[in-house]
Chains A and B, each alone.
Chain A
Amino acid sequence: MSALSNAVAQVVTQAGETAGLDGDALKSANGASSAGFAYGLAAIGPGIGIGYLVGQAVQAIARQPESAGQVQTTMFLGIAFTEALALIGFVVFILLKFV
Chain B
Amino acid sequence: MLFAAINLLAAEGGESAAVNPVFPDSAGELVWGAIFFFLTWILLRYVCLPPLLKAREDRELQVQSDYEAAAAAEAAAEQVRRDYETTISEARLQAARMVEEVRVTVDAERGRQVLAVEQEIAEQRQAAMAELDSARTAALGQIVGDVADLAAAAASKVVQAPVDAAAVRPAVDDVVQRTGGSK
**A residues whose Cβ falls under 8 Å from a Cβ of B:** 8, 11-12, 14-16, 19, 21, 24-26, 28-29, 31-33, 36, 91, 94-95, 97-99
A to B CB contacts below 8 Å, 11 in the list: A12-B4, A12-B7, A15-B1, A15-B8, A21-B11, A24-B15, A29-B4, A29-B7, A32-B7, A97-B14, A98-B20
**B residues whose Cβ falls under 8 Å from a Cβ of A:** 1, 3-5, 7-8, 10-12, 14-15, 17, 19-22
In whole Å, how far is A36's beta carbon from the nearest beta carbon of chain B? Answer: 8
In whole Å, how far is A27's beta carbon from the nearest beta carbon of chain B? Answer: 9
Q: Cβ of A95 and Cβ of B14 under 8 Å apart?
A: no
Given contacts A12-B7, A33-B7, A91-B22, 7 further A-B contacts (CB under 8 A): A11-B1, A12-B4, A15-B8, A26-B11, A28-B11, A28-B15, A98-B19
Q: Inside 8 A of A14's CB, which chain B residues have their CB?
A: 4
Given contacts A11-B4, A33-B3, A98 and B21 within 8 Å (CB-CB): yes
Q: Inside 8 A of A91's CB, which chain B residues have their CB?
A: 22
Q: Cβ of B15 and Cβ of A95 under 8 Å apart?
A: no
Q: Inside 8 A of A19's CB, which chain B residues have their CB?
A: 8
